[in-house]
A = this chain, B = another copy of it.
């Protein structure tokens, strides 16, 4: 049954012809401008607003990029990218100078021929369709601009942010997997998170491997649920009314490819809670619970910031599905390129980077208006 016909965009003058966008900058003071395409020469970003005299070299950034990079296990895309970052500017003799830091990550393993079949077809659940309608042109190679590859510059910029946050405020950020598809993960210890390919906080992840092997062979994909926690965040961050800390966290998390839901603290469970349960009691020794997820009235409370993120299944799957082409004709599509069967698996380092980027920006904004 057809649930909704196409919006007749062509009949509305303003949504017809050549189109454009911007919106590729994140942050107000610590600003990250992202550029590049999946199969272009490079992906990269410019960080404008990093405080001066931060000790900085490629190593600091590379460490985080390596956690995100593809090809590290059979459960993620087999594209082989070393993701070697180059610092082009803004660092002199090992210190940031306060000027823009341009970061470049060359693309080395782009197999664009894999994608020629889908140049004129829209993958269900993919941005192919909307990019085409918005701009009247798109770079289809590897998903072009809508590829998850564009999270690499975000991770690189986030590495600088978390390094600064670590050095100056001892803020610590960690993301981990709560669920892959139907497989929930019992929390054991954060120590395990970086010891398995799933960022799972448990020792035995064989059942996840089995689940994903099966899924991959079936040609299908699945979603994931992750949690990200920031510790040692000072009380007072966030700019109500509109630029609240939770608002900005929700923005960056929902803005990550494939994310469809964001919760702070008790999140959707708050609906059924009573006020007497949900309100975290304050004692002379601290809060007795953290239903608020570390944010009250849009301002950090000094408790851990706790965020949950739902990621939908990868939209590029091998299973054939009906679709239409750019000419509007019916067709069938089966995506053969290299794809993550569960795009959420590599999300942990990205969520950490996004959290770091929001926090550093709010720290700097807050500092702007402090008395001394």
Contact = CB atoms under 8 A, between A and B. Distances in A.
Nearest to A250: B254
A148 B170 CA distance: 34
Contact of A21 (B146, B240, B253): B240
Instruction: Give chain A's interface residue range (CB within 8 Å of chain B).
Output: 35 or more
Quickly give the copy total for this chain: 4
Contacts of A270: 223, 260-261, 310-313
A115 interface: no
A88 B1 contact: no
Interface in A29-62: 29-31, 33-37, 40-44, 46, 48-53
Contact of A137 (B98, B144, B250, B267): B98
B44 A234 contact: no
A369 to B, nearest CB: 3
A272 to B, nearest CB: 5
Contacts of A323: 281-282
B88 A36 contact: yes
Interface in A277-292: 277-292
A371 to B, nearest CB: 3
B271 A7 contact: no
A369 B313 contact: no
Contacts of A247: 251-252, 254-255
Contacts of A122: 282
A133 interface: yes
A10 B41 CA distance: 44
A186 interface: no
Contacts of A364: 368-369
A5 B312 contact: no
Nearest to A86: B41
A192 interface: no
A144 to B, nearest CB: 7
A227 interface: no
A296 interface: yes
Given A20-B370, A134-B235, A224 B297 contact: no
A285 B323 CA distance: 11
Given A9-B302, A19-B371, A136 B53 contact: yes
B263 A260 contact: yes
Contacts of A53: 18, 135-137, 371
18 contacts: A5-B285, A7-B234, A19-B236, A19-B371, A20-B370, A97-B138, A97-B144, A122-B282, A127-B298, A129-B282, A131-B297, A182-B272, A261-B270, A263-B268, A271-B312, A273-B313, A274-B313, A276-B321
Given A4-B287, A220-B275, A274-B313, 18 more contacts: A6-B235, A7-B234, A12-B169, A15-B235, A19-B236, A19-B366, A22-B48, A25-B48, A36-B102, A46-B46, A53-B136, A125-B278, A125-B296, A127-B297, A129-B282, A220-B276, A222-B274, A278-B312
User: Which 7 pairs across A and B sit closest by C-beta, in order of nearness?
Assistant: A127-B297, A23-B239, A23-B243, A125-B279, A7-B302, A247-B255, A20-B369
